[in-house]
Structure 1
Amino acid sequence: MSKWSNTSFWNFVARQLLRNRIWVIVLIVAFTVFMASQWKYIRFTQTEANLLPDDHKDNIAYANFLKTFGEEGNVIVLAVNKEAVFTIKNFKEWNNMMTSIQKNKEVELVVSFKELKQLVKNDSTQSFELNPFIDFSKVGQISYLNTKKETLFKELPFYESLLFNKKTGTIRSVIYLKKNIVNKPARKEFVLKKLLPAIETFKAKTRVDLHVSGMPYIRTLNAQAIISEISLFIGATLFITSLIFYFFFRSFRTTLMAIFVVLIGVMWSFGLLGLLRYEITVLTALVPSLIVIIGIPNCIFLTNKYHQEARAHGNKAKALQRVLTKVGTATFITNVTTAVGFATFIITNNDLLKEFGIVTSINIMALFVLSLFVIPIFFSYMPIPKEKHLEHLERNYLVGFRDWIIRQVKYHNVKVYSVAIIVLIAGIIGVYEMKISGSVLEDMPKGTAFFEDIRFFEKEFNGVLPVEIMIDTKHKKGVMKMSTLKKMDELQQAIEEIPELSKPVSVVNLVKYAKQAYYNGNPDFYALPNSQEQAFILPYLKNASKNTADNPLKTYVDKTGRYGRISTFMKEVGTDEMKKIEEKLNEKITKLFPEERYTVSITGKALLFQKGTSYLLDNLIESLIFAVLLTAGLIFFLFRSFKMILVALIPNLLPLLSTAGLMGYLGIPIKPSTILVFGIAFGLSVDDTIRFLAQYRQELKLNNWKIKKSIFKTLEEEGPSMFYTSIVLLFGFSVFTLSDFGGTIALGGLVSITLLFGMLTNLILLPSLVLSLNKTLANQQELKEPTLDIIVDDAEIEKEIEKEPI
């Protein structure tokens, strides 16, 4: 597009927009109604984020496990102290609660006192029977309950760590949900409308302190917390950014206009989620708030330019036409660079990030169009700004800040570069202190009751995050061979030695229990049968398994007997700790299970999330590099100068490096939420760079290619807008620190810090670099004509307006 056609295009847009204001308003209203109609398709995600691609070997291993044994995260656990529950009243209320829970159609199985079975030998049928552990006709006798309590803790080692902690006396019941509802809305309905009311009823009647956890429960309450924060963030960002907007312009009408623009943008963002049938995730939940934060600076920039034009000549129609014609391209380019910062997430092999990138980038460009249409139309119906509305252009604090910036650039170049070098070195050192973390629990709200219960179960039962080991014996009924059972037992012993893992459960525990039952329940015989005993104990167990309703093997061995599983739970650990745990397990597995005879895989959602974090880190680094290269290409396309690329990237990469260093010093780990900071901050910060360079280019022409004069005129012209927009973005993102989620807090705080650094580097380091890389008088031939005149000069605009005024 030539310079002439670029100016003509925006002049044409200005004329058509202002001449057809009613039709434009009708179109905006109609489109908003359409987008609102798509809200009915909005759904909240029912699953955790899968950070690995579908064809990744760990995803394939997990899919094979699910195919063989079904969903592993279907367990909800309730725990209470034994002294609190083994009273006649509380015991009855506990069983009433568990009975009411068992009756729900979403529940597959409940393992509690009423359902607790004791394995008993039946010599007549040569099999084992599962008999009730509690005779409920005797629960009114406290002596009977005490006897059963002692029996449970002393004579049933099979249930140790599964249902009780022998050391502390904590007892728990286990609820197994039907596997086909774990990742569906029915899970949420059960937890919120059936489980929680039953628990509250029990607490009200007994005054017993009850703890609840398990992945279905955690996921449901975590999702509710995310949903509750959406309205909090929208309200808080709207309040703080509108307050700043009013503080700058001191006009209620103009502030209401800005609020109207961003609210329409928020409505469109929800509509787009519904239109694309995307679920609301922990990332897409932030999109409406981001629209508010990014939308207000657009309003500030266009309003500030309009006020500058109105003050210059006092003609409202001419001021509106000149604003669109003069900065239309600049506003478009800066919105494109912001959208690019988010759009680069699309190139990752991750659906969560792709959807976030698509929705955010589309909404940013839609918001640009909305701002460009609504703001001129609004001012066209309003009277020309009064002098009091233009006072913000020369406020003392703004003039003082601008003068301080100019002094740093004019007289303190050495100090500026020294500080930049110190920040650079400190950032590099800090980067080496950074750690990677991929715990699925780390970003959950720490102050909530359900997170406190997670810590309780970590202390009492070594965690709630399921980890599964699947063993493929490659032969039918291979799991029940004594050689395989012994290998599994040895592996389980190795697991018990790892403090971050709970006591494992598998068919081995059941076979040990079978031997104990064969010897009339004597706990001294809870062990694997020897070669002589297996000949007459295993047939009992196999005969018992023929009764499919009470088949004790079905949970731990598949129907063919080829696949077995060892289930354990894990505490919250970081990526490095998880790698060490996996290395220990793999070392033992390699020793026990030769590859030619067995295929063993360690899997589970917790492990999958850990691995996905490291994979995602590589993807996000690639996307950030892609964003930098894309921005560099855009700057070269616009300015046709390699120097411009250099001076544009340095002030924007230095804040990213300093933030990364700060994360290292403060011990903030790299994880999915914090790695997003860099792409978002870069896309937003580079906007100021492009606006500065565009205005600087224009000032060069007006000031006979004199570098110093042009730099300082640019700071006077663009400094206020850069300051205003940066402050809004800084405070807007700081709202996310109100979150209960650690990841969201880190995202908001780190983006705010990065944008603060970015504002200072763009206002001080950027002009200093321009001065240092050029002589006092610029070489007009060296600075080639740009592909687009981002900011058009006044003479060119006047020619276009004279051709066809409004």
Structure 2
Amino acid sequence: MKKKLKVGFWEFIARIVLKNRLFILGIILLLTVFLALQWKNIRFSFTEANLLPDNDIINTQYNAFLDKFGEEGNLIVVGVKDDAFFTPKAFAAWDKLMADFKSNKEVDLVVSVSDLKKLQKNDSIQSFELVPFVDQNKITDPAYLKSIQKDLFHNMPFYEGLLFNKKNGTIRSAIYLDKKIVNTPHRKDYILKDFIPKIEAFEKETGIDLRVSGMPYIRTLNAKSITDEISLFIGASLLITSLIFFFFFRSLRATLISIVIVVIGVMWTFGLLGLFHYEITVLTAIVPSLVIVIGIPNCIFLTNKYQQEYSAHGNKAKALQRVITKVGTATLMTNLTTAAGFATFIITNSELLKEFGIISSLSIIALFFLCLIVIPIYYSYQPVPKPKHLEHLNRNYTRVFMNWIEKTVKYNRRYVYVVAIFLFLVSTIGAFKIKTSGSLIEDMPQKTGFYKDILFFEKEFEGIMPLEITIDTKRKKGVMKLSTLRKMDDFQKTIEEIPELSKPISILNLVKYSKQAYYNNNPEYYELPTSQEQSFILSYAKNATKNTKNNLMKSYVDSTGQVARITTFMRDIGTGNMAKIETKLWDKANKIFPKDRYNVVMTGKALVFEKGTKYLLDNLVSSLLFAVFLISLLMVFMFRSFKMVIISLIPNLLPLMITAGLMGYFGIPLKPSTILVFSIAFGLSVDDTIHFLAQYRQELTRNNWKIKKSVFATLKEAGISMFYTSVVLFAGFSVFMLSDFGGTVALGGLVAITLGFGMLSNLMLLPCLVLTLNKSLANKQEFIEPKIDVLSSIEDDENLD
């Protein structure tokens, strides 16, 4: 009676689907239209990926910094390294370019050689005043421009590291955008439609190559690259998976409906993004392609089962019913395990990963129902399969491959175990060689111009990734105390000693420049004032900051004079080196800034990203273990056999270890993109295991619990579908290697490799384990009646026409 109830459920589903075809198709159409209307809510991310939980102390400190000093990533730098720069034509064009930038409402401040200001002492008002460094009336004189170049490099240490590199002769301008637009679509429009065209016009006019970088610029072009690749991935994955599908089935009708299903699935994915108001990030951008790559194997499995059933008994109605009743739960479980691999990211506290996990897992489950419903309905309206459409079931190359698998399992089981153990041991050694890495620019498209410009500024100015340090003196106006400034000077010397960091910028620079200006701009006096000099020099400096509207230093001390800010820029150094630098800076800070009198905080986008990467690495094991635990629960629920759980896990954990070993041997580091590989690949690889064990359970009942006969019958029945789906998944994930983003390339390549090993493991190691571990099976007691009838053993179903 129990069995009839279980069978009856899927019979009930089959009856509903096949007797209400137009009504159900109408519901799917309405749902598709509804989700398509949600596309208007889709937004693209305008900031870097924040991998940390919102309540993490690093995020809390960073947000507190933004509240006090505003957005720190608003600087764009334009650099030039060309001897022709200090010539009348080029300098005039540069002057005009900077003036154009300054006239834009999107720009807050421009600091450039062409309109540089220098401090000059005015004794009458006991203050410094800013006077032009360049006489605009003389810029047509080549000799004057050469003298300006010499004066700048030798007498203006305040601007060294900010506007010029004296050693290499490189010049750059600092363009500070309005902080209100930095994280808005307005920033993208300004940079793409106004800023870049002006840069290109200058290059065309002068023949001088300009280098551009800075976080707003990088974010904009990086986001543009992501959006450009969405269509590339969707098109390429759809093309390659469809071609493989057609190659296997040689049927345009079967290929067409598969394409329609996955296209609807992609539309639903975009609709879910809009419905939940999620942003398109570097992770969510790949979900539509994942839907295609995962959807086509669903179509293969269901289409193959329909053709197998029709080939067996020639009854179309029975074949359509059995597509649902015989494999409905098995397909559901395979999709649930795949979704579980993605859903593990939901348990993290990172909003970025949560959104990725929610959208991908929901899309996969929705796709399952779409496939299970649409494929039988579609074939119910189509003619019966022709003989040529069934030829693939006995095609020569698949028969040869499966015969080789069967012979290996039958006669060389010992060698399969030896190879598996050898691969495991070698891979374990390789896994210990894996290094960690993570930076804001590491996975950016390296063939693009903006990435090459990043490398230029790393070489010439020690990088463009901001590292911010705040020093709270715990008293108003405490920053301008000479004792505090001396401590800051000591601390900044430590920063300057670290080759990966640029020359720091703070109020200290202005104070030193004030002394130089007081002594008639003699560069030898670019230093802190002595105790005797502090009263009159610091008073001059304070008056200068009060009287200057657009002062470069206005953002380096808070309004109360209590908190000082030090900004330095860093190279792309990765998490390991970043941790060493951070330790060195903290050691120095703790020595010179007593905690009872000062509160020092290190923050900035570079540090937030580095900590986010470390957070992901720390949670990698727990996330993977959760995926294993979740999928093991599903196995227990399906088979109610502890031995089957062990049998199912071993062939899927081995490919993960092999992938980890390859990463170690080939120097592929653990980073946000490669961390995703293991949970995703495990969820996908275990699908083949479910297909195999589900079919094996049915074969046991058919073959009077004869293990060996059932195993090889399973290989014949399920092996081809496992092979087909694995090939599609391998090729589908390989599409991501077309990306310009290193992280996406690594994700696609590693998942493809893991799935390739997973297929061989499930076709060879899995049946070997079943044969070995189930030797003592004398009756069906090993397979207690499961809670879910994974693969129904219906022998005859009524005609549903």
Report the TM-score range of the alignment, normalised by the length of the smaller protein.
Answer: over 0.9
Q: Distance in 2 between matches of 1:698 and 1:648?
A: 17
Counterpart residue number, 1:306: 306
Tell whether the 8 Å contact from 2:80 to 2:210 is kept in structure 1 after alignment.
Answer: yes
Counterpart residue number, 2:377: 377
Q: Distance in 2 between matches of 1:504 and 1:463?
A: 12
Deviations for 1:219-276, whole angstroms, at most 9, x for unmatched residues? 1000000000000000000000000000000011111111111111111111111111
Q: What is the 5 A alignment of 1:154-193?
A: 154-193=154-193
CA offset at residue 448 of structure 1?
0.6
CA separation of 1:11 and 1:398: change in aligned 2, threshold 3 A: same
The reply on whether 1:774 has 2:774 as its aligned counterpart is yes
AA partner of residue 497 (structure 2)? E
The reply on whether 1:672 has 2:675 as its aligned counterpart is no
Deviations for 1:398-436, whole angstroms, at most 9, x for unmatched residues? 011111111111111110000110111011111110111
Tell whether the 8 Å contact from 1:708 to 1:776 is kept in structure 2 after alignment.
Answer: no
> SS of 2:136's equivalent?
coil
Tell whether the 8 Å contact from 1:345 to 1:620 is kept in structure 2 after alignment.
Answer: no
> SS of 2:564's equivalent?
strand
Counterpart residue number, 2:750: 750
Aligned residues: 801
Counterpart residue number, 2:641: 641
Q: What is the 5 A alignment of 1:143-542?
A: 143-542=143-542
TM-score normalized by structure 2?
A: 0.99
Q: What is the 5 A alignment of 1:557-572?
A: 557-572=557-572
Q: Distance in 2 between matches of 1:280 and 1:581?
A: 33
Tell whether the 8 Å contact from 1:345 to 1:357 is kept in structure 2 after alignment.
Answer: yes
Q: Which moved more, 1:225-234 or 1:767-776?
A: 767-776
Tell whether the 8 Å contact from 1:342 to 1:679 is kept in structure 2 after alignment.
Answer: yes
TM-score normalized by structure 1?
A: 0.98
Tell whether the 8 Å contact from 2:317 to 2:800 is kept in structure 1 after alignment.
Answer: no
Tell whether the 8 Å contact from 1:315 to 1:384 is kept in structure 2 after alignment.
Answer: no
CA offset at residue 212 of structure 1?
0.3
Q: Distance in 2 between matches of 1:564 and 1:84?
A: 39
The reply on whether 1:684 has 2:684 as its aligned counterpart is yes
> SS of 1:567's equivalent?
strand
Tell whether the 8 Å contact from 1:349 to 1:619 is kept in structure 2 after alignment.
Answer: no
> SS of 1:476's equivalent?
coil
> SS of 1:235's equivalent?
helix
CA offset at residue 9 of structure 1?
1.5
AA partner of residue 34 (structure 1)? F
CA offset at residue 60 of structure 1?
1.7
Counterpart residue number, 1:27: 27
Q: Distance in 2 between matches of 1:500 and 1:439?
A: 13
> SS of 2:727's equivalent?
helix
Q: Which moved more, 1:455-464 or 1:145-154?
A: 145-154
CA separation of 1:480 and 1:552: change in aligned 2, threshold 3 A: farther
> SS of 1:554's equivalent?
helix
Tell whether the 8 Å contact from 2:241 to 2:732 is kept in structure 1 after alignment.
Answer: yes
AA partner of residue 84 (structure 1)? A
Tell whether the 8 Å contact from 2:82 to 2:208 is kept in structure 1 after alignment.
Answer: no
Q: Distance in 2 between matches of 1:612 and 1:787?
A: 41
Q: Distance in 2 between matches of 1:639 and 1:732?
A: 30
Q: Which moved more, 1:17-26 or 1:676-685?
A: 17-26
Q: Distance in 1 between matches of 2:169 and 2:432?
A: 45
Q: Distance in 2 between matches of 1:128 and 1:59?
A: 39
Q: Distance in 2 between matches of 1:204 and 1:553?
A: 34
AA partner of residue 486 (structure 1)? R
Q: Distance in 2 between matches of 1:272 and 1:222?
A: 24
Q: Distance in 2 between matches of 1:356 and 1:552?
A: 40
Tell whether the 8 Å contact from 2:463 to 2:572 is kept in structure 1 after alignment.
Answer: yes
CA offset at residue 116 of structure 1?
1.1
Tell whether the 8 Å contact from 1:273 to 1:359 is kept in structure 2 after alignment.
Answer: yes
Tell whether the 8 Å contact from 1:348 to 1:620 is kept in structure 2 after alignment.
Answer: no
CA offset at residue 777 of structure 1?
5.1
Tell whether the 8 Å contact from 2:41 to 2:274 is kept in structure 1 after alignment.
Answer: yes
CA offset at residue 561 of structure 1?
0.7
CA offset at residue 115 of structure 1?
3.1
AA partner of residue 538 (structure 1)? L
> SS of 2:471's equivalent?
strand
CA offset at residue 664 of structure 1?
0.6
Tell whether the 8 Å contact from 2:71 to 2:179 is kept in structure 1 after alignment.
Answer: yes
CA offset at residue 782 of structure 1?
2.9
AA partner of residue 265 (structure 1)? G
CA offset at residue 776 of structure 1?
6.6
Q: RMSD in angstroms over aligned alpha carbons?
A: 1.2
Q: Distance in 2 between matches of 1:552 and 1:287?
A: 44
What percent of counterpart residues are identical? 64
CA offset at residue 737 of structure 1?
0.3
Consecutive unaligned residues of structure 1, counting only runs of 5 or more, are none
AA partner of residue 334 (structure 1)? T
CA offset at residue 81 of structure 1?
2.1
CA offset at residue 498 of structure 1?
0.4
Q: Distance in 1 between matches of 2:672 and 2:706?
A: 47
Tell whether the 8 Å contact from 2:79 to 2:172 is kept in structure 1 after alignment.
Answer: yes
Counterpart residue number, 1:90: 90
Q: Distance in 2 between matches of 1:605 and 1:411?
A: 59
AA partner of residue 224 (structure 1)? K
> SS of 2:138's equivalent?
coil
Q: Distance in 1 between matches of 2:2 and 2:84?
A: 82
Consecutive unaligned residues of structure 2, counting only runs of 5 or more, are none
Q: What is the 5 A alignment of 1:775-790?
A: 775=775, 778-790=778-790
Q: Which moved more, 1:309-318 or 1:712-721?
A: 309-318
> SS of 2:326's equivalent?
helix
AA partner of residue 400 (structure 2)? G
Counterpart residue number, 1:660: 660
> SS of 2:783's equivalent?
coil
Tell whether the 8 Å contact from 1:706 to 1:776 is kept in structure 2 after alignment.
Answer: no
> SS of 1:528's equivalent?
coil
Tell whether the 8 Å contact from 1:707 to 1:776 is kept in structure 2 after alignment.
Answer: no
Q: What is the 5 A alignment of 1:706-745?
A: 706-745=706-745
Counterpart residue number, 1:50: 50
Q: Distance in 2 between matches of 1:770 and 1:114?
A: 78
CA offset at residue 6 of structure 1?
2.2
Q: Distance in 2 between matches of 1:354 and 1:715?
A: 38
> SS of 1:363's equivalent?
helix
Q: Distance in 2 between matches of 1:483 and 1:728?
A: 68
> SS of 1:119's equivalent?
strand
Q: Distance in 1 between matches of 2:3 and 2:653?
A: 31
AA partner of residue 668 (structure 2)? I
Q: Which moved more, 1:379-388 or 1:552-561?
A: 552-561
